[in-house]
Every structure is written in C-alpha cells, then in structure tokens.
Structure 1
Amino acid sequence: MIEPELAGAALVAALRGARPSEGSAVVWRLGQSGVLLRFPRATVLVDPYLSNHCEAVLGDPFDHRRLTRSPLDPVDLDMLDLVICSHDHLDHLDPPTIRSLAKQSPGAMIAVPRSCAGLVGELGWAQERIVSCDDGTSAEISGLRLRSFAVPHDDFDDGPRGHPYLGWLVGDGRTTVAHLGDARVHPRIVSALATASVDLLAVPINGRSPKRAAAGFAGNMDAEEAVQLAQSSGAHLTLPMHYDMFAQNIDADALGRFEAAAEAWGVPAVTLPVGRALTIVGAAT
C-alpha cells in the first residue's frame, strides 16, 4: 500500500490553512486522477476517488483493490466551491464520495458531462447546483472560468447525450489548470489547450494494451505520448496521473518512463506524491 505523504486531519488542516497569493494556486494530488486546487478565492476538487467503491462493486474479472491509500475522508471537505468529474467511470465519479460532498459542501457546484447530470442528481445534488457540460461549454463559477472539451477514451463516443468524456480548463484569469481525466492523444486536445495559457497540465500516463482492452479497460495515452502532448501544447508544467491505484490497469514502469522522456525532451514536469502540496504561479502574473 502506498501511503500518502500527508493524510487525514493533517492534510485537512493544510487545505484549510493554504492561502495562495494572487496569481498562484496550490495543488494536491489525491491518487488516481484526483486533484484538489486551491485558488486565492475558490477551492476545486477534480475526479476524487476517496472510497473503496470499485473494489466493493466490481467482481471478476476486475481487481480494483487500492494501491494508494485514500488521503481524505470526504466528510471533511466542507470548503469546496466546485467539484468536477470528467466522466462516469467509478474511479472518476465515485458515488460514495460525490454523495458525501453534496451534503458536506452545500455551497459547491458540480460540473459533469451532460450524460452524467442525472446520476449526480440521484446522488443528492440539486438541479440548480449541477453544471451540465459538453464539448465547448463555458461557465463562470465562484470567480473561476471553466471550459470543457471532448477527449477520446478510446474514442470520442459522442451521442444524443453529448460527449461522455471531457477534459477541463479551470482558472481565475491569472492561473490556469488543465485536467484531461482519461484520454488518448488527439489533435483536438492540442487545439483545446491552445485556447489558454496552461500553467499546469494533468495527464493520464497508464497507456493501454490488448490484454486490458479485452478485459474491458478503455485506453489512455502512455508516458511518452503524455510528454509529447505537453510539449506540443506548450504547457508550462505537466503532472502525471493515473498510475498508482489499480495494479490491473497500469504499466508498472509508466512513471519512470514519463520522467525519463520529460527530461530527455526538456519538458517541464513534476511528480507529486499523494498529499504533498505544490504551488504553481501563473505565467500571466
């Protein structure tokens, strides 16, 4: 079991005590694709998987035992302004966590693909708190600018309820974070990222394989593809994700390959242990 660097009450105290200066934001990685972003005037939680729900409900042939211990209990997260879920897979839209957050952060909004709006309503989020998104949706929430864009995982899979897999740009006008959820590399992602000056790009790196595809796992970009995307998009800093949760759906050497490729190609990148804070400063500052 991978232990968070900071967890529980100590991490909650750090979250509450963070006071990012204007033009900066503090980031915590929470495992899998989960990140918490503290801007000067708003707090955002993206793709939190804080339970053991996957292991509890998914039987053979799936093995969803956690490799990384959850750093937080969602009942302690009462300071959120915005929750974002990139798509409705259980490790990105975690029902027990999302249900708890509806109660614990009653002033928060939740942004999800349009195809997920009904599900989060069933999990306790009132209709007026749900921002239903699709490719190209823009919104302003708690002083933040939010924009969603379609990503492929393995494909775009757009249908009558819109694109089920979305990437996100969120920022306060001075600092911008891009979060890709689960995604394969595609020119449309590069085009979407080009609409903003991205200070931190959070990308999956667990890749794909025929064996995992046969077991029902959709694919993501691999370590080298993630670095190439970061380079082509001009992101100022890149954070790898989606490599530390389920042994059945990772490449064991993905993180090492990502770090090696980033160094070889001169791409600014940071590996962030779960529970450690990272301060990013917007290039617009």
Structure 2
Amino acid sequence: MSNANLNGRPDADRQLIREIADTKVPYGMLAMWSLGQASFIVKGGDTVVYVDPFALSDEEVERRYGLKRLFPSPAGPEQMTNADCCLITHEHADHLDPDTITAMAAANARTLFVAPNCCLDAMRECGVSEARLYRAETEEAVIEGERLSVKPIPAAHEQLERDEEGFCKYVGYVVRLNGVTWYHAGDTIVYDGLVERLAAERIDLALLPINGRDAFRTGRGIIGNMDYREAAELAHLAGFGLTVPMHYDLFAGNTERPGYFVDYVYERFPRLRTHVMARGERYVFVSDAAL
C-alpha cells in the first residue's frame, strides 16, 4: 500500500482492506501491515491475524486520553471485517481499544479473540461471545490448528505481574502461521529466562518494542519497555531470523528513532536482519520454508 492516501480515511480504509484481501501469500511467507504503536495485521495463506488493533481517530484519541496521534490510522474500526483471529497483549487502551474491538466483534462473527485473563471482562463488554474468546494462558498453545497456532509468552511491562487468579497480566505471542514462526512481544522489558524461552521457539520474525523507559516518563505514568539496545541484544541472543522494531511512532512524548536500532545492529550484529516499517507499507517476509 505504498501509495495509500492516509488523509482521506474512507478511501484509505477500503484500500487497506482490499489490499489485504488481494495479497497472495504462498507457504513459507507472511504479509504484514503496521497500524502504528504495537498494532499489526499479519496474513499467511488465507488467514488474517490482528494484534493489538488501535484505530481511534486523532480527535477521539485527544478527547479521551489527552494524547496526540502523530499520524492517522490507515483504517477505521468499522472497516476491520477480515480478521480470523485478534490477539490482545494487555489491558492498556492503546493495546485493547474498546471501540476497535466492539466494531471487530460485530463485523465478523467468525473472528476468534485471545486476551489475558484480566482483559476478558472488557472483551465481553465489547460484545465478544464466550464461544470465540480464549484466555491467554502462558506456555501452552491456546489455539492449535493446521493453519494457525497461538502460544502466549509472559511479558514484563516493566515487571512480570499476575492477577489475583495467578494469570499473567501482560503477554506476547508466538504464532505459527503458514509455515512461519513469528513473535509479537507486546509491551515488555528483557527479563530473566526470556532469551532462552524465545531461542527454543526458533523465531523467524520478531516484532519488538524499542521505546524504552526513563524517570521522566515514569513520572507521567507511562510504563516502559526495552530500549533499542536491549531489543537488538535480545534479537541477537535469541537468534531471530528478522527483527522489526515497533512501539516508537504513534504518540508524542513516547517515541524513539528506529534508526538508532538499525545503527546499533549494524555496528554490533551486522549479520542480523532488520526491517523498519514505512507508514502504509505492505511488507512481505520470505522464510527458508518458502525456498
């Protein structure tokens, strides 16, 4: 979607969803679109997976949360009718957006939803029925099928936390789709055991936050993530095939330059593959399984 008109929202909405439908993704490949922040759409074969879809307009974001979007969403919630599966990493509004989930739940009765235990009531309030709502229990596949496998992984945003029932409040996901294993980290820092846990999964493609954390943002109530150095070191140690930085571009005051990540990788791990998503880009990933 390199020439998409992101200023004319209705046209851009239709163009994005049409492009996803028209994109052919042979075995061993994935097509991927970024909605900004940690929001991604990933297609493998005929299966479409959304992660943390956040599509509120500039005006709604500022009215509700007092935040300013740095660019508009390439699609509105009402247009997101094509999801086979929607994965939620945690309860923060830029990851679990009630308007977007409500619209997606109403638009497609076949969409399956996965979310941490502490998010399930919010998902039900958005109209997600019990029959298609899965609790993100870590360390086991919550969806296991021929086309799609989804395994939640604990995330530490900035700490590993559990709810009163003992379930992880923050998760990432290891997804096996179309012969490709990919990992969406959610919001997390690098904690003890994460490298080994991910290395064992043999990740082809990883999406990692790079916006970091500092005392000033903490003072404003912004919970942090790994920074670009930590993301690069994790990618190297865990042996990711390709790493895409995320969670650095959507809200003023909580950004990072993805070039810092690329420069750090180039200087220290020159054989490590990376890709920075352009706004509106369709990126096609080709794994060894396609060759």
Name the stretch that deviates more: 137-146 or 95-104.
137-146
For 1:248 and 1:66, locate their aligned partners in 2 and report how far apart those are by CA, in whole Å.
10
The answer on 1:283 being equivalent to 2:288 is: yes
The answer on 1:153 being equivalent to 2:157 is: yes
For 2:235 and 2:119, locate their aligned partners in 1 and report how far apart those are by CA, in whole Å.
28
Aligned partner letter, 1:158: R
Aligned partner letter, 1:72: A
Aligned partner letter, 1:236: G
Long gaps (5+) in structure 2 = 7-11
Matched position secondary structure for 1:196: coil
Equivalent position to 1:260, from 263, 271, 277: 263
For 2:4 and 2:178, locate their aligned partners in 1 and report how far apart those are by CA, in whole Å.
31
Partner of 1:126: 129
Aligned partner letter, 1:82: C
Q: How many residues align?
A: 277
Please report how far the alpha carbon of residue 141 of structure 1 lies from its aligned counterpart in structure 2 after TM superposition.
5.3
**Is this contact kept in 2: 1:37–1:45, CA < 8 A?**
yes
Partner of 2:64: 57
Please report how far the alpha carbon of residue 73 of structure 1 lies from its aligned counterpart in structure 2 after TM superposition.
1.4
TM-score (norm 2): 0.90
Partner of 2:16: 11
Change in 2 beyond 3 A, CA 1:197/1:171: same
The answer on 1:272 being equivalent to 2:277 is: yes
Please report how far the alpha carbon of residue 113 of structure 1 lies from its aligned counterpart in structure 2 after TM superposition.
0.6
Q: In the TM superposition, what whole-angstrom CA distance separates every residue of 1:198-257 from its partner, at most 9, and x where no partner exists?
A: 121001110011010011111101111111111111111000111111112223xx3121
For 1:40 and 1:9, locate their aligned partners in 2 and report how far apart those are by CA, in whole Å.
21
Equivalent position to 2:85, from 82, 86, 89: 82
Long gaps (5+) in structure 1 = none
Equivalent position to 2:232, from 227, 231, 235: 227
Aligned partner letter, 1:56: R
Matched position secondary structure for 1:118: helix
**Is this contact kept in 1: 2:27–2:178, CA < 8 A?**
no
Partner of 1:91: 94
Matched position secondary structure for 1:187: coil
Matched position secondary structure for 1:120: helix
Runs of 4 or more consecutive aligned structure 1 residues displaced over 3 Å after TM superposition: 3-7
Matched position secondary structure for 1:169: strand
**Is this contact kept in 1: 2:13–2:74, CA < 8 A?**
yes
For 2:73 and 2:49, locate their aligned partners in 1 and report how far apart those are by CA, in whole Å.
18
Q: In the TM superposition, what whole-angstrom CA distance separates every residue of 1:138-176 from its partner, at most 9, and x where no partner exists?
A: 122572011001110110112323111001011236111
